[in-house]
Amino acid sequence: MHYLDHAATTPIPEAVAEEMCRVLREEFGNPNSQYSIGRRTRDLVAQARRTVAGALGCEAEQLSFTSCGTESDNWAIEAALWQNRHVGRHIITTAVEHNAILEPCRWLEQEGYEVTRLRPGQDGSITVEQVEEALRPDTALVSIMMVNNETGNVYPIHDIARMLQEKKSAALFHTDAVQGFLKVPFQARELGADMISVSAHKIGGPKGIGALYLGPKIRNPRPLLPGGGQEGGRRSGTEATAQIAGFAKAVELRMDHLADKLERMAQLRDYAVEQLTAIPDLVVVGRSDAPHILAVSLPGWPSQNIVNDLDQAGVFVSAGSACHQGKPSHVVAAMGLPKKVSAGVIRLSFGPETTREDIDAAAQALRQHHDTRFPML
Ligand code: PLP
């Protein structure tokens, strides 16, 4: 099997699965209970929070666990709009965000909010100047992702934060770093974003657990889930202890020699570009600034057919984002590429386990597809 879809989700290292099973079997106590087995799980959650916060570069108290990246994104939007309800009802985001941002924005429009969706260049880029031009006195929220999940473009988050500060904008700044966390080095305390979303299953952790960083500008956020007062009263619900432990273990494993891992992934990406662009007609789509995501297109060959043929060859890649399989990707559509190019886009994404053999297998299967199937568009 050649798994090249780490941006969709990652395999779980044995040590993560073992830690989760240990917690399920041996540490079943409720972290909110006052007796010793409750205290033990409480300590476990506290330690896990310190581990994830340490990797993110923030204080443990600034990090709330959520059920996924999608929840973190939804919460960030809600928290910002609540805090800035007297500032206005204008939101700036991009046309290439994940649906976890775009869908809440669509709903908010129906409630009277105004949403500016910045359009990318043909290479998928979004600039600070675009954000600056769109900024208004009534802008309550700016939400720009750190790494695009389909093209691997890295957006200038630090520069946007600085611009917002220089302009003395009241807007709160959120970044969806689900594809950036432990892929593109950053420290929350230096980045300048007020809120940062992350998710465990993109870095070797389990599905169903994410986190949201709430920086110093977010004062008394309205609780996402009012209830028993967990997560500092901000998001109630008994903590998902095994998921949290798995998240922390995955972070610990990734942090070990992280720079080497990222360097290896970047080398693999470059090797993949070299191998794949040797296939006639094939073009690279977007900038692939991040070390782990590479989008390419066989113009005229429908991407779903490519994915199916590669699947038969034991090579797993995605046609655009795995979150909306089957439908044309809004990201590629927003880039304004020729129809033939956008219809043939596939995404390869890598993890620390990926090898050159995986890339070779993908290149071989793609070449076979190109040589034996006819373009349909
Ligand atoms: N944001 C981005 C950029 C993503 O790539 C994803 C998942 O693909 C999400 C948000 C959603 O994360 P989750 O699957 O944890 O809800």
Give helix then strand counts, H and E, for the chain.
Answer: 13, 12
CB atoms inside a 10 Å sphere around CB 25: 9
Nearest to 270, CA basis, from 253, 294, 249, 251: 294
Q: CB neighbours of 357 closer than 8 A, spacing ≥ 6?
A: 2
Q: How far is the CA of 137 from the centre of ligand 1 (A)?
A: 30
Contact (Cβ atoms closer than 8 angstroms) between residue 151 and residue 109: no
Give me the tens of pLDDT residue by residue for the chain, a chain 377 residues long.
999 999 999 999 999 999 999 999 999 999 999 999 999 999 999 999 999 999 999 999 999 999 999 999 999 999 999 999 999 999 999 999 999 999 999 999 999 999 999 999 999 999 999 999 999 999 999 999 999 999 999 999 999 999 999 999 999 999 999 999 999 999 999 999 999 999 999 999 999 999 999 999 998 888 999 999 999 999 999 999 999 999 999 999 999 999 999 999 999 999 999 999 999 999 999 999 999 999 999 999 999 999 999 999 999 999 965 445 555 689 999 999 998 999 999 999 999 999 999 999 999 999 999 999 877 77
Say yes or no: CB of residue 323 within 6 Å of ligand 1: yes
Please name the residue that has the structure tokens 């199916």: 308
Sheet holding 114-118, edge to edge: 63-66, 210-214, 195-199, 172-176, 139-143, 90-94, 114-118
**DSSP string for 107-118:** HHHHTT-EEEEE
For the question of residue 68 being annotated catalytic, the response is no
- State if pTM tops 0.85: yes
Say yes or no: CB of residue 101 within 6 Å of ligand 1: no
* Pairing status of strand 195-199 against strand 210-214: antiparallel
* Pairing status of strand 114-118 against strand 139-143: unpaired
Q: How far is the CA of 260 from the centre of ligand 1 (A)?
A: 25
Say yes or no: CB of residue 72 within 6 Å of ligand 1: no
Contact (Cβ atoms closer than 8 angstroms) between residue 91 and residue 143: yes
Q: How far is the CA of 72 from the centre of ligand 1 (A)?
A: 9
200 CA closest ligand 1 atom index: 15
Handedness of CA 105, 106, 108, 114 (dihedral sign): positive
DSSP code, position 157: H
Q: Which domains does the chain have, with CATH numbers?
A: 2-10+257-372 (3.90.1150.10), 14-255 (3.40.640.10)
Q: In whole angstroms, what is the distance from residue 98 CA to residue 87 CA?
A: 25
Residue nearest to atom 5 of ligand 1 (CA): 149
68 CA closest ligand 1 atom index: 15
Residue type, 208: G
Say yes or no: CB of residue 68 within 6 Å of ligand 1: yes
322 CA closest ligand 1 atom index: 8
